[in-house]
Amino acid sequence: MNTKSKSRKRLEKCGIKPSLQRMAVMDYLLEHKMHPTADMIFSSLQPSIPTLSKTTVYNTVKLLAENGAILAINIDEKNQRFDGDISQHAHFLCKICGKIYDMPIAGLQISHSENCTENFLITETQIYYKGFCKKCK
C-alpha cells in the first residue's frame, strides 16, 4: 500500500474527513519518522502547498492527535512533537542533540492490585526516556 492510500485509510478509520491538507500532514508523518514539530511539518509542506498556513498545520496535528491518528509527544518541554507511528513504543530524547529515538517496549503492565482496572480506563500510555544518544555520549 502506498503512503497516500495508507493516509486516507488512517484518517477514515479515525473518523476524520480526508481533506487535501490533512492528507498531506498525515503523509508527511508516515514518511518522516523523526518526530517533527508542527513548525517542521509546515516548512516542509509549504513549498508544495502554497495555500497552506501555519494555523492549518497546528489545527490539523491537534485534530489528528485528538482522534488517535497520530501521537502527540510531550517529551520535549519546548516543542510538542508528532509521530505517525501509533503502535506501542517508547521515546528517548537526547539531551544534547534534541533528537528523539524510538524504543521498542514489550510486556508493559501496571499493577492490578490497586484496582486500577476498576477505577481507571486507560486510553493512552506514553513512556519517555531521556539521556545521551550514541553520538553525544
Q: Which residues bind Zn ion (CB under 5 A)?
A: 83, 85, 94, 96-97, 102, 133, 136
Shortest reach from residue 12's CB to Zn ion, in Å: 22
Shortest reach from residue 135's CB to Zn ion, in Å: 5
Shortest reach from residue 99's CB to Zn ion, in Å: 5
- Give me the amino acid identity at 17: K
- Cβ atoms of residues 81 and 37 within 8 Å: yes
Of 24 and 29, CB closest to Zn ion: 29
From CA 73, how far away is CA 8, in angstroms rounded?
A: 22
Q: Which strand ranges, in their side-by-side order, compose the sheet holding 100-104? A: 100-104, 89-94, 128-131
If we measure between CA atoms, which residue out of 84, 81, 113 comes closest to residue 94? 81
Of 76 and 102, CB closest to Zn ion: 102
Of 116 and 136, CB closest to Zn ion: 136
